[in-house]
Structure 1
């Protein structure tokens, strides 16, 4: 069987003006991942990234430690969904019951627990399909986008290939939904646990795909450096 390694990007710059940049911790996480894969002797036949900078930078920092790594390919299908658009479109609908929501969301880096609580509430509204808007990509459309990327991989792959996909938590969540048929709400409960640069492994034969492992971050745990285990 072939293998697809789903790799979440390293820690991004949460709370900064530009989130789509790896923090110094994110760069270190990616380097540790690459060193770990090299020690395991993992041979990669293809490497694919979404087009977001944090995804590509993670790939570049990891792949520099792997001998004979293939050229990085870019596929927008593995981009994260537009979290800012979800917040902008759906937050007005919760202001009556959560009047403090705007202040919390604007200052998320200083109040991470409250930010996560509100963000999870907005995601529930998004995935329900009951609040779809013409100017906002729906959850179903996002899942279809990710499915298209997966199908393109499978069309070109043979059953002996090892393929790395550098992507984001929401994209991995959509793939979990597609492959395991877990309800979207349960999939997002798993999403909140996905560690930066963690590995989730898919095994495939032809068009059949199964989940072999989820959210492995042994490469970080072995360093016994808790500050490297991050979730955003």
Structure 2
């Protein structure tokens, strides 16, 4: 039996000119994640991430606490759902049946709560069979790429290994839905509640994979509490 830890990146810089980098809190979350893995004897044989900066930064900060060098492999199939692309091209379609979505977009989406409402509506349209927008990556292409990347990791690493995949919320949600045998219409249910730097554990043997636990952030609560820090965040 081998183990995969799916780890969401630390808090990114929402609202900043460049979103794709860790905030100060995000850096601290990744450091504490590394301390947690080290102190609980979780030694990674390999690490994988997408090529997004926030994913690579989280990987580097967490791996800094590992007792030895851990090879870090980059696979763009572990990148996040292309939210900006979807908002740009799908909002006009979604707004036809839900004008409130267009109102939120017109406000500028400076509020994280407003942004999440738009993402929910757009994501659920994107995974539906009626979405046929040719200018964006399709759900079928995205989800099949994620599942192929997961299978490639399992095949490459083999039995008895402990692997960390540092990725994003949409990717983790897609993997969990896939492992549970659920379609895309269920993926958002796993996407919305994922905490920054949370850990989801999978067990695999050969090409069989199962879910052990999902979205654990208790170590951030405990270690943050010990140091008087608030380390838990969604966005």
| Alignment of 1:231 onto 2:234 | yes
The 10-residue stretch of structure 1 (91-100 or 158-167) with the greater mean CA deviation from structure 2: 91-100
2: CA distance, partners of 1:199 / 1:186: 20
The 10-residue stretch of structure 1 (160-169 or 133-142) with the greater mean CA deviation from structure 2: 133-142
| Alignment of 1:103 onto 2:113 | no
Task: Classify the secondary structure of the residue corresponding to 2:230.
Answer: helix
TM-score normalised to structure 1 length: 0.94
2: CA distance, partners of 1:189 / 1:203: 22
| Structure 1 partner of 2:45 | 45
User: Residue 199 of structure 2 contacts residue 214 of structure 2 at CA under 8 Å; is this kept in 1?
Assistant: yes
TM-score normalised to structure 2 length: 0.92
1:226 to partner: Cα distance:
6.9
User: Residue 94 of structure 2 contacts residue 125 of structure 2 at CA under 8 Å; is this kept in 1?
Assistant: no
- Size of the alignment, in residue pairs? 229
2: CA distance, partners of 1:63 / 1:19: 23
User: Residue 10 of structure 1 contacts residue 22 of structure 1 at CA under 8 Å; is this kept in 2?
Assistant: yes
For structure 1, which runs of at least 5 residues remain unmatched after alignment? none
User: Residue 49 of structure 2 contacts residue 78 of structure 2 at CA under 8 Å; is this kept in 1?
Assistant: yes
For structure 2, which runs of at least 5 residues remain unmatched after alignment? none
2: CA distance, partners of 1:49 / 1:116: 24
Q: CA RMSD in A?
A: 1.5
1:69-122: CA deviations, max 9, x gaps?
312111111111211001001011234423413223x233xx332222222111
Describe how 1:1-232 pairs up with structure 2 within 5 A.
1-96=1-96, 97-98=99-100, 99-104=102-107, 106-108=108-110, 111-222=111-222, 223-224=224-225, 227-232=230-235
TM superposition outliers: structure 1 runs of 4+ over 6 Å: none
Task: Classify the secondary structure of the residue corresponding to 1:124.
Answer: helix
2: CA distance, partners of 1:57 / 1:93: 35
1:125-179: CA deviations, max 9, x gaps?
1111312211111111111110111111122122200010000000001101211
